[in-house]
Amino acid sequence: MMGSVEIEQTPFDKKFRGIVEEYIRESNKSIKIVTGEISAYNYFDLRNAVEEAAGRGVKIDVYASGPHTDIINRLIHHKINVFIGDRDPQEHFMICDERKVIVSVKEKNRTKRIGVIKDTANEVRKYMDMFEGLKKNARKQRILGKDPLLAALNHPI
């Protein structure tokens, strides 16, 4: 175990995204994510890794406070559970296989976020409890409306 390690900031968070992608691809059992708008899903590398993990049978739960309908529908289509709540926590995080946590923290007096990896049992438990607390007060989502993306996915040309 290494405790906490800060991830170096790079343009477009390329290094951070690379580590997140690696952790997603290494996950075998479960991934729990807390985020705001799920905007990271717009990056092909992360979207592809999550969809492949779900396809391998990894159970993925996402708590978000303000995602777009198209993203919700695409996640659900890939058998990813989406929970919407009113709280947007200061820390966004991802727990992989209940062993490692990657945390994205907004720095004080800055607009940027920093990434931190945590892997001690106490730290992982703290974030598992935070996730469960947020999920408890959230609404599980179902496919919303007549989504053209979902129609295209279900009936390709």
Q: What is the pLDDT of residues 90-128, one digit of tens each?
A: 889 999 999 999 998 877 766 667 888 998 999 999 999
Q: What is the pLDDT of residues 80-90, one digit of tens each?
A: 999 999 999 88
Strands 81-84 and 59-64: parallel
* CATH node for 4-154: 3.30.870.10
Whether residue 151 contacts residue 129, with contact meaning beta carbons closer than 8 Å, is answered with: no
Whole-prediction pTM value? 0.85
Whole-angstrom Cα Rg for the chain: 15
* Least confident segment among 12-21, 47-56, 102-111: 102-111
Q: Domain extents for the chain? A: 4-154
- Comparison of pLDDT for 47 and 146, the residue scoring more: 47
